[in-house]
């Protein structure tokens, strides 16, 4: 009677995918300090949640992140690094190290750091994000200024100046027009919030930045986009996003142009997280990791994809056991393959049909081929459980 409970867990996760995809979580690392009794990091859902002790500059960054797009972000998590504005390099290094350590166990989607370029930490943060994604399988993304990371986890925001124009009314009734100019690093929080507030069923391409009156004017927007730059531009009436792309530009076999699109990567990350976490919660440790039970798990995951297909997130899919990954695992352990029928064979002598039945201890090696709507090609997704 084990199979139905696994299937139900996956279907329940799939049925909430669209809702969850409507509102992501933004994390900000700021050079500020929280006063007691506030706990670091602080979670902000509405402006009422912003602690009074934070600097005006920090408050402005939080408010920028909260604007969003079609929706506001689900929440903004603010980690105060305790770094003074005039801090020496050692203090800056220590603050960023603590932020990285703290963030490893916090659930969020998009990171922005309003002073990362000034602090000369953009490349280090980009490397950390890549490590989190590739090694620790935590599928976070970061919006960083002027950082050509060539990675789908980094959004490289490069618009030099964004201008917000406000009319301020004095106590005597006098009205004054005030321009606020944001550098690239100062506007990354806004971009992170915009992406987090973009439903998974649409892209942020041509999303308007309604608070802006102007920005750095470009005669050519195609070239920076092709170089993996996320830019905003003035179309003669308003400022809007050129195209929802990340910094990935160097395509390779199995990782094509679809990985350049923020929308596609967000869907891939959600699918990977859903399958991994649901399998951990509902399968591993609850069922013997036999070949027959792995097949039940595959059936449950197929039900998950079927729901995503009905919801318009994927157009086609297949999922199976990863023969190549199983071979690599067994060879790395110096093991022979113990097949489902009890036969023991050298790994190199096993066919794909045989190797997928092999005993893999506590590990499950899956692979999926998914066609996400708007993607140019089918995407092969190794899934680690």
Total structural domains in the chain? 2
Domain contains 259: no
Regions in the chain scoring below 50 on pLDDT: 1-4
**Which residue, of 183, 217, 241, is where some domain finishes?**
241
**Which residue, of 241, 268, 295, is where some domain finishes?**
241
Question: DSSP characters for 234-297?
Answer: E-SS-EEES--B-S----BTTB-GGGGBHHHHHHHHHHHHHHHHHHHHHTBTTB---HHHHHHH
Are 335 and 219 members of one domain? no
Are 236 and 352 members of one domain? no
Domain contains 279: no
Are 114 and 22 members of one domain? yes
Are 196 and 62 members of one domain? yes
Q: What is the pLDDT of residue 3?
A: 44
Domain that holds residue 375: 286-384
Are 222 and 326 members of one domain? no
Are 236 and 292 members of one domain? no
Are 32 and 166 members of one domain? yes
Exposed/middle/buried for 201, CB within 10 Å: 0-12, 13-18, 19+? middle
Domain contains 7: no
Are 121 and 183 members of one domain? yes
Domain contains 248: no
Q: What is the pLDDT of residue 381?
A: 67
Alpha-carbon gap, residue 242 to 204, rounded angstroms: 9
Exposed/middle/buried for 301, CB within 10 Å: 0-12, 13-18, 19+? buried
Q: What is the pLDDT of residue 12?
A: 67
Are 53 and 118 members of one domain? yes
Domain contains 336: yes
**Which residue, of 185, 208, 241, is where some domain finishes?**
241
Exposed/middle/buried for 107, CB within 10 Å: 0-12, 13-18, 19+? exposed
For 90-126, the pLDDT digits (tens) are 999 999 999 999 999 999 999 999 999 999 999 999 9
Give the global pTM: 0.87
Domain contains 2: no
Are 237 and 292 members of one domain? no
Are 78 and 58 a contacting pair, CB within 8 Å?
A: yes
Are 123 and 109 a contacting pair, CB within 8 Å?
A: no
Within 8 A by CB and 6+ apart from 141, the residues are 109, 110, 111, 129, 152, 153, 154, 155, 195, 246, 262, 265, 266, 269
Domain contains 179: yes
Domain contains 273: no
For 305-336, the pLDDT digits (tens) are 998 898 888 888 998 999 999 999 999 988 89
Are 296 and 234 members of one domain? no
Q: What is the pLDDT of residue 196?
A: 97
Are 80 and 176 members of one domain? yes
């Amino acid at each position: 009677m084990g199979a139905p409970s696994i299937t139900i867990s996956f279907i329940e996760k799939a049925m909430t995918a669209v809702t969850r995809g409507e509102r992501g979580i933004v994390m900000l690392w700021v050079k500020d300090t929280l006063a007691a009794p506030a706990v670091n990091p602080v979670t902000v859902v509405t402006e009422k949640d912003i602690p009074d002790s934070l600097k005006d500059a920090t408050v402005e960054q939080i408010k920028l992140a909260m604007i969003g797009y079609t929706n506001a972000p689900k929440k903004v998590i603010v980690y105060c690094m305790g770094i003074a504005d005039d801090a020496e390099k050692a203090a800056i290094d220590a603050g960023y190290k603590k932020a990285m350590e703290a963030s490893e166990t916090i659930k969020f989607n998009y990171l922005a750091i309003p002073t990362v370029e000034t602090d000369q930490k953009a490349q280090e943060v980009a490397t950390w994000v890549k490590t989190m994604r590739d090694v620790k399988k935590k599928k976070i993304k970061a919006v960083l200024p002027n950082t050509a990371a060539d990675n789908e986890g980094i959004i490289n925001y490069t618009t030099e100046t964004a201008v917000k124009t406000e009319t301020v009314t004095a106590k005597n009734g006098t009205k004054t027009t005030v321009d606020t100019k944001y550098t690239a690093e100062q506007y990354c929080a806004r971009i992170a919030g915009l992406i987090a507030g973009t439903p998974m069923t649409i892209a942020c391409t041509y999303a308007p930045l309604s608070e802006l009156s102007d920005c750095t004017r470009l005669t050519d927007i195609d070239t920076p986009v092709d170089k993996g730059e996320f830019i905003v531009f003035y179309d003669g009436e308003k400022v809007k996003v050129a195209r929802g792309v990340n910094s990935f530009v160097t395509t390779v076999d199995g990782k094509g142009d679809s990985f350049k699109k923020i929308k596609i990567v967000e869907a891939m990350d959600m699918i990977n997280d859903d399958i991994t976490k649901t399998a951990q919660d509902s399968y591993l440790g609850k069922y013997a990791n036999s070949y027959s039970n792995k097949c039940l798990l595959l059936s449950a995951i197929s039900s998950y994809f079927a729901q995503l297909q009905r919801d318009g997130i994927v157009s086609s899919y297949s999922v199976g056991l990863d023969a190549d990954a199983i071979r690599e695992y067994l060879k790395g352990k110096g093991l022979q393959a113990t097949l489902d029928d009890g036969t023991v064979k050298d790994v190199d002598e096993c066919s794909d049909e045989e190797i997928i039945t092999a005993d893999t201890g506590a590990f499950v090696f899956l692979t999926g081929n998914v066609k996400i709507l708007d993607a140019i090609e089918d995407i092969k997704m190794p899934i680690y459980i």
